[in-house]
Amino acid sequence: MSNRPNAPPAHTLGPKALALDGREVDLLHYIHNRPDIKQLRGNPQKVIAAIDDYHSEFNILMNVGAVKGAFVTDLIAERKPSVMIELGGYVGYSAILFGDAIRANGGKQFLSIEKNPEVAAVANQLVDLAGLRDTVRILVGPSDEVLRELVRDRKEITQVEMIFIDHWQKLYRPDLWLLEELDVLIPGTSVLLADNVIMPGAPEYLEWVQATTGQKRELVKKLDVGSLTPNPNLVYETTVSEFDTTFGKDGVAVTRVMGEQSA
């Protein structure tokens, strides 16, 4: 097992600054060297608990955590999506937690999109250990490219029932614009969950999902949307739930697609 560096105080670092220094692979060694490894096999909750043990005892990981995780799993139980998508999978904590909830509530698949192939490999190993290979798929690549491939090329996704957005905050709004362009957000059905909207914050995303359709039309006129085609006519209803986390006070924005207004 590799040496475990001491984690810096939680208040000095944002979640995204904590990744990719070797602790992700060390987590995998830690779990497979646990004396209860046989009990972990095929048991998502025990794998989650083991990841939490590593987070608490050795190195801080940028996982969604127990409190926000329970909030999302409650929403999964309420909405019962057949397919759920995640942008930003990291080591697979949320994929295991939410994938297990999807399966328990009659759903078919949890798609986790992770850009970094190293942490995606760790996630794949942990998903397999948890016995969720038939439910959870880890897809490697930039979120926009994978989304386009799923919708336009493979035609696997025709609507987004529920999506958990937890990658780089600067991509939250562009990826939402892409979802609007792909016409997969369905009024009365689609729910978007955006993590870390308080710390480190996602002000551009919140501005969009909290704006009226008229305000969004004005934003499109003055913002650089690049090659994207946002749909400002979609009507959103957004609430932000706040939580105390390892890193401080944070929030999850829950956005429901309510309808569409003509320009």
Domain ranges of the chain: 10-260
Q: Which residue has the tokens 């048991």?
A: 43
Strand partners, 256: 191, 237
Give the mean model confidence (pLDDT) for residues 132-140.
98
2 confidence band (pLDDT: 50, 70, 90): very low
Residue 141 has φ and ψ, to the nearest 5°, of: 150, 170
Q: What is the pLDDT of residue 247?
A: 75
The pLDDT tens digits of the residues spanning 201-236 come to 999 999 999 999 999 999 999 999 999 999 999 999
Q: What is the pLDDT of residue 203?
A: 97
159 confidence band (pLDDT: 50, 70, 90): very high
| Highest CATH level, class, for 10-260 | alpha beta
Q: What is the pLDDT of residue 228?
A: 98
Q: What is the pLDDT of residue 31?
A: 98
42: left (phi over 0), alpha (psi -120 to 50) or beta: left
CA distance 27 to 126: 10
Q: What is the pLDDT of residue 262?
A: 83
